[in-house]
Amino acid sequence: MRQQGGGGASSTCRPRFASGNSADERVKTGSTAFSDVMSALKVQIHGMNKTQESGSSYLKVMTAIKEKDAETAMLRARNESKKLEIEERKLALEERRFNHQFSNRS
């Protein structure tokens, strides 16, 4: 004689979850969830790698810009130095001319 609601092996006796899935289906869903989590992690890791690459690219670009700015500043300083040197030579030449004219008057 069969007991009602007893521990028989039929599928009607399997515990049901809130989603309405049996325990076997729940395991399958858990496996799918794990796969989904792993896929999401892969996407996140790939995104982080892209972010790091773009951050690295940004730093490289900014470094190159700073290097070019430094080169430009150095060239400007050289130009200014050359201008001052030319001005100094002009003044020295004028001084010699003046001294020459003054010495000729004496």
Instruction: Tell me the pLDDT tens digit for each residue of 24-69.
Output: 555 556 678 888 888 888 888 888 888 888 888 888 999 999 999 9
**Tokens matching residue 53:** 């690459």
pTM above 0.75, yes or no: no
Report how far Cα 16 is from the mean position of its chain's Cα atoms: 49
Nearest residue to 19 (alpha-carbon basis) of 10, 29, 11, 9: 29
Could you give the CA distance from residue 73 to residue 76 in angstroms, rounded to a whole number?
5
pLDDT band at 4 (very low <50, low <70, confident <90, very high): low
Report how far Cα 82 is from the mean position of its chain's Cα atoms: 41
The domain limits of the chain are 15-105
**Tokens matching residue 30:** 């858990």
